[in-house]
Amino acid sequence: MFKGFEVSSNEQAFTLETLKSGIRFDGRKLEEMRDIDIRLGDEYGYVEVRLGNTKAIVRISAQLAVPFEDRPYEGIFQISTEISPMAGPMFEAGRQSIDEVLISRLVEKAVRRSGALDLESLCIIAGSRCWAVRADVHFLDYDGNFIDATCLAVMVGLSHFKKPDIAINGEEIVLFSTDQRDPVPLSVLHIPLCVTFAFYNPNDVEENIKGSSSGELILVDPTMKEEAQSLGSMTLTLNKNREICQISKAGGLPIDAPVIMDCCSIAYSIVERLTEKIKQLLKDDEAKRIDINVQRALSAANDR
């Protein structure tokens, strides 16, 4: 992933030193997330997320489609996570690197496989008509940890999105525009959120494998520089119901099992806080929209 991004030995050594003294370049604590800034667009399902300097935009859209043959009672949900060189010149246009595959698989597992979106509710007429919801993730700027940002943006997008209301008239489906009928939200069953950890080993490899010191350093939400210097990472996906939706520690530095349990509780407290934040944000947005509608109605009345 970091092709062309050179990290000197001096920086490597320095980073280990700073981590050992418990500080990070941006002043965070080791188990602290960067500030998250979420902006909702005027359009339903348009979300801009900034995680420090990592930026992503998610657009949710829905279309009528034919369900898959082997799943006639379910709608379709697709997440597209293609990374263009806009996020940084290390990403190649039109070719998915293995890291990109892993990012998209992870988001897929975190959101789709964990059943965050109720697919059965997207079915309109079994076997012939359903909603196809897609989430297009646009990666704008990469400064580490795309996964957490993406998962968050997709979940906020799904919770914010509203699809046009429909009526079934025999075999006919009538689609109402937003003026005719209020659009309806998707049925989001739970909000899984990812927390990524990066691992460092200040000791020798032998100590890590055979030693008993468990001296590995762990930090939350690595920046790109931190990611490039880490020896491994782990992404935990949880929701606020204390359910783990996904764990992904695909190789990398071996870590003691009890340490991983500790990571779980760190992640849970982060997820709890984030979920609250998202809920508040969506509530505020809803209130704002109602306000605007009321004003519009009032001004319309005045015009008359």
Partner 1 sequence: MSRFEIYSPEGLRVDGRRWNEIRRFECRINSHPTSSDGSSYVEQGNTKVLCLVQGPMEPALRSQSSTAQGSLIVNVSVTPFATVERNKRPRNDRRIQELSATLTRTFNKAIVLKNYPRSLIQVNLQVLALDGGLLAACTNATTLALMDAGISMYDYISSVTAGIFDGQTPLLDLNTIEENELGFLTVGVIGESEKLALLLMEDRVGMDSLEKVLAIAIAGSHRIRELMDIQVRNYGKHKVAKLANQ
Partner 2 sequence: MSGTLIIPGDTIELGTESGETSIGPGITTNPKDQSIVYPSTAGLLKSISKRNKTIAYIEHNTKRYIPTIHDYVVGVVITVFGDGYRVSLANYSQPVVLSALGFPNATKKNRPHLKVGDVVYAIVSLVDRDVEVEIECIDPVTGKEGGFGQLNGGTLFDVKLAYARYLLFNSNAEILEAIVNKCQFEIAIGSNGKIWINTENVKTTVAAMNAIVESQQWKKEEIVKNVNKIFKDVL
Partner 3 sequence: MSVISVTGFGHQNVSVDSDSEDDAMGDIEATGFKSSIVTPGERITDDPTWMRGHGTFYLSNQTYSSVAGSISRVSKLLSVIPFHGRYSPETGDHVVGRIVEVSQKRWKVDIGAQHDAILMLGSVNLPGGVLRRKSESDELQMRSFLKEGDLLNAEVQTVSQDGAAFLHTRSLKYGKLRNGVFVRVPSSLIVRAKNHSHDLPGSVSVILGVNGFVWIYRTKVNANTKTENSASINRVSAQLSSSRDYTPGQGSESITRLEEESSWSIYSDQNDEDFPETIKLNITRYRGCILALAHCEIGITGSRLVNAYHASMVYDNIDALVSNQVKEAIGRDIIEAEKMRGK
Residues 239 and 207: beta-carbon distance below 8 Å: no
Please give the DSSP secondary-structure letter assigned to residue 117. Answer: B
Part in contact with partner 2 (CB under 8 A); list of ranges 16-24, 122-130, 133-141, 196-204: 16-24
Give me the least distance between CB of 18 and partner 2, in Å please. Answer: 5
Place of tokens 């996964």: 147
Return the half-sphere exposure (C-beta side, CA atoms, 13 A cut-off) of residue 148: 32
- Region 219-238 residues binding partner 1, contact defined as CB under 8 A: 231-232, 234, 238
CB-based contacts of 300, cutoff 8 Å, min separation 6: none
Q: Indicate whether 250 belongs to the interface with partner 2 (CB under 8 A).
A: no
Residue whose CB is less far from partner 3, 98 or 209:
209
Give me the least distance between CB of 236 and partner 1, in Å please. Answer: 9
Give me the least distance between CB of 201 and partner 3, in Å please. Answer: 13
Interface residue with partner 3, options 93, 94, 210, 251 (CB under 8 A): 210
Q: Indicate whether 104 belongs to the interface with partner 1 (CB under 8 A).
A: yes
Q: Which amino acid is at 106?
A: L
Place of tokens 């399902």: 45
Chain centre to alpha carbon of residue 222: 15
Give me the least distance between CB of 2 and partner 2, in Å please. Answer: 9
Residue 79 CB burial class (10 angstroms; 0-12, 13-18, ≥19): buried
d(Cα 150, Cα 80) in Å, to the nearest integer?
11
Other CB atoms within 10 A of residue 227 CB: 20
Interface residue with partner 2, options 25, 84, 126, 286 (CB under 8 A): 25
For residue 39, give Cα distances in angstroms to 233, 278, 291: 28, 11, 18
Q: Indicate whether 127 belongs to the interface with partner 3 (CB under 8 A).
A: no
Interface residue with partner 1, options 4, 6, 98, 179 (CB under 8 A): 98
Q: Which amino acid is at 151?
A: C
Q: Indicate whether 252 belongs to the interface with partner 1 (CB under 8 A).
A: yes
Give me the least distance between CB of 247 and partner 1, in Å please. Answer: 4
Please give the DSSP secondary-structure letter assigned to residue 280. Answer: H
| Angle, CA 248 vertex, CA 121 and CA 70 arms, to 5° | 35
> How many residues sit in the footprint of partner 3 (CB under 8 A)?
8
Give me the least distance between CB of 55 and partner 1, in Å please. Answer: 25
Interacting partner of 8 out of partner 1, partner 3, partner 2, none (Cβ under 5 to 8 A depending on kind):
partner 2
**H-helix or E-strand spanning residue 130:** strand 129-141
- Region 256-275 residues binding partner 3, contact defined as CB under 8 A: 257-258
Interface residue with partner 2, options 1, 8, 33, 130 (CB under 8 A): 8
**H-helix or E-strand spanning residue 259:** helix 257-303
Binding site for partner 2 (CB under 8 A): 4-15, 17-18, 21, 23, 25, 27, 89-90
Binding site for partner 3 (CB under 8 A): 204, 206-207, 209-211, 257-258
